[in-house]
Structure formats: C-alpha cells, structure tokens
Amino acid sequence: MENSIKIPSDMSNIFRAENLIEKLAEKLNLGDELIGNISVAVVEAVSNAIQHGNRNDVTKITQLEYLVKGQELIFIVSDEGSGFIIEDVPDPTLPENLENLKGRGLFLINHLADKVEFERNGSRIKIFFNI
C-alpha cells in the first residue's frame, strides 16, 4: 500500500483520502472510534488544503502521506498555498462565532487528534494518533 497520494485540488477528489484511510484502517486493524476520529480529522485537513490552501485550483496538488512510528500513526497533509496565521483563525466556541457554519475544521482536527503540528506557515499539517 502506497503511503503517499497526490490529490488534484478539487473537492470531488476527497474520496481518494477516504479510500486511503479505509485501506489503512483495515491494514492496521484500527477500532471504529479511532477510525471515525481519523476520518473526520484527515478529511477535514485535506478539504482545508484543497479549498483554502490551493483555492480549488486543480492544477495544484494536495498531498496526503502517512507514517507509522511505533504506536503512533501520523498523517501529513500539504498544499501549495502560502499558508495562514493560526492565531488569526476565529475560535468557533466564542459566542460571536457560534452561528457561523464555517470555521470549525481546525477546532475538530485539534480535538480529535492526539497531537497536531503546523509547518511551512500552515501549508503543512501533521496529525498524530496513538494506535
């Protein structure tokens, strides 16, 4: 099984990330709750990379990689965008943001994963899960 896929930045290609997660979950015999957390977090990261990083430009690639290191499963999602300032992302739990339909992705990722790291000004995210 390939540990890296390149996804043309169109939301219709999100199934490629879902397929990789499904195959990996089967290969590693992961539990349902962990699979659910991984699916939501990683698909959200890929979606953010496609929409916000690469601005839905199909000529730009979103890359999804994974690594297994001991008891840790690490997903790395990269885009070709210029990144973002994490401190500028509104907190969706603040009263003024509660009714916003968007802006919950990073919040979800941070709460579903065991650890999250941003690199390259936010154009690369590492998502860690204990397995």
- Pairwise CA distance, residues 36 & 22, whole Å: 10
pLDDT tops 80 at residue 67:
yes
> CA-CA distances (angstroms) from residue 104 to 22, 96, 100?
23, 13, 9
pLDDT tops 80 at residue 22:
yes
The sign of the torsion formed by the CA atoms of 49, 51, 25, 110 equals positive
pLDDT for 101 equals 65
> What CATH number is associated with residue 114?
3.30.565.10
pLDDT for 16 equals 97
More confident residue, 49 or 95: 49
Average the pLDDT over 96-103 and give the result: 71
Count of domains forming the chain? 1
Q: Which domain holds residue 74?
A: 4-130
pLDDT tops 90 at residue 121:
yes
pTM above threshold 0.85: yes
